Amino acid sequence: MQDYTKLNLQENPFKDITPLLDQDESHRLIWAGMPSLRQNLEEIHRQALITNSRQIILNWGTFGVGKTYAAFYFSDQVRLKELAEDYEGNIFHVYIRTPKEGRNAPKQIFRDIMDSFSLSSLNSRIQFVINERGEENLLKFLSRRIKSEAFAKAVLLLGDENPEMTEMMSRYLYSNATKTELKKMGLARSLDLSSDFAKMLTGILLCFLEQKGRVFLWIDEMEDLLFFSAKEYRMISQFLRDAFDQMNEGLTVFMNFTLTEPEQDTVRLLLGDALWSRITENVRFNELSASDGLLYCKELLRQSQIQTDSGEYSPFSEVSLRYLFERIPQSYMTPREINKNCNGILNLALESGESFVSERIISEWFSKREGFD
């Protein structure tokens, strides 16, 4: 592991070019720069926890601008509860990526969401709701909401205390239950059509809303949907619409959409009116200006600086950072691109035995990059 102390740093704050979802108390993600974007997203979360209404949010912007990072940053339960201190319910954060293949996309999305919850947490959550509401009442409630008694019954079986039943239900969720098992469970048929998956998903999510629960579902890389055939796209957008429409409360969906295009109308044309009309808010993730970049670097460096009196950008200076930003084309001015460059520049400075980053080192870095870009 590199020793960055000579550069006045405990560690290299730019090393994470792409974020990791795996966070613990010793490694909480920090938000650097882009204050209005953070406030905007915080406000959406706060409103979700206060009002309980359904929100469908479209996050869009170029690649590397922080959409996935935002999904991971706002997965922190402690952070979310700090946003609405009076909130006493449970918060469930689900992060999935859009399937690359269109043929079974609804099934894949359903499975990814189930994987994200884990079977044991599904079981205990539904058991809890059955105990709270009573089996009959819950069955009636779910049947009415998802318009299917068969799938409402299947949701209830997910909360069954019998381990053999839980085992069979896990196979049911993954469409692997045999006819004998279906008969044993008293279920008429397995999950097959995309509308089946939408109903089952909604039924399960409704159980997570019990006692002021709130589900935040992040769907990353939504642009991949647009490389499906027309038939596949129709199927997946119908699945999403069914799932969204049956949940009129307790759900916030963030759809991350990468596009190097500033026109909102382009996104509308691509998504189609059926999905577009359901979006309650859209959040534009903009490329950074030089002053945005300075703020971003300052706040990131602050976390790792050893001596805080060596300048707010140490081991860089404002001049050297501006020199760097001039070399990054405006359409590439994103946190990822800044991380990529600063990460390499810091390592080059170390190799060269420097204790601060000069314009000469930055120049040298770009000459090297030209060689392998």
Partner 1 sequence: MKSIYVIIDASSYINLSTVEHRFLNTDTLLDAFGEEVILRYSSTVNQEISSHWDNNMPDSLKRSAKIHQLEKYGQGEYEKRLFDDISQTSRDQGEKDNFAVALDLFFIQKKMNLVFLTDDDKAISGCLNEVKDAFPIIKIWNSFDAVLFLYSLKRKDFFMEAAENALQDLHKLTTSDNEKTDPRKMSERLKKLARYKKYLERIEKLHKRG
Q: Is 108 one of the binding residues for partner 1 (CB under 8 A)?
A: no
Question: Which is nearer to partner 1, 188 or 269 (by Cβ)?
Answer: 269
CB atoms within 10 A of CB 185: 18
Strand partners, 253: 56, 217
Candidates 152-160, 218-226, 277-285, 286-294; binding stretch for partner 1 (CB under 8 A):
218-226
- The candidate with the shortest Cα–Cα distance to 13, out of 357, 361, 305, is 305
Site for partner 1 (CB under 8 A): which residue of 229, 289, 303, 308? 229
Q: Which helix (H) or strand (E) holds 220?
A: strand 214-220
Q: Which helix (H) or strand (E) holds 121?
A: helix 119-133
Strands 281-285 and 251-258: unpaired
Question: Which is nearer to partner 1, 261 or 359 (by Cβ)?
Answer: 261
Cα gap 188→131, rounded to integer Å: 25
Q: Which DSSP letter does residue 27 get?
A: B
Question: Which is nearer to partner 1, 186 or 272 (by Cβ)?
Answer: 272
Site for partner 1 (CB under 8 A): which residue of 258, 314, 320, 341? 258
Q: Is 226 one of the binding residues for partner 1 (CB under 8 A)?
A: yes
Q: Which of residues 65-84 bind partner 1 (CB under 8 A)?
A: none
Q: Which of residues 46-65 bind partner 1 (CB under 8 A)?
A: 62-63
- Length, in residues, of the chain: 373
Smallest separation (angstroms) from partner 1 to the CB of 268: 9
Question: Residue by residue, what is the 3-state secondary structure of 255-310?
Answer: EEEECCCCCHHHHHHHHCHHHHCCCCEEEEECCCCHHHHHHHHHHHHHCCECCCCC
Site for partner 1 (CB under 8 A): which residue of 87, 216, 228, 316? 228
Smallest separation (angstroms) from partner 1 to the CB of 255: 15
Smallest separation (angstroms) from partner 1 to the CB of 96: 19
Smallest separation (angstroms) from partner 1 to the CB of 334: 11
Q: Is 176 one of the binding residues for partner 1 (CB under 8 A)?
A: no
Cα gap 106→196, rounded to integer Å: 10
Strands 281-285 and 91-97: unpaired
Smallest separation (angstroms) from partner 1 to the CB of 368: 22
Site for partner 1 (CB under 8 A): which residue of 31, 92, 218, 233? 233
Q: Which residues would be at the binding site for partner 1 (CB under 8 A)?
A: 62-63, 223-224, 226-231, 233-234, 258-261, 265-267, 269-270, 272
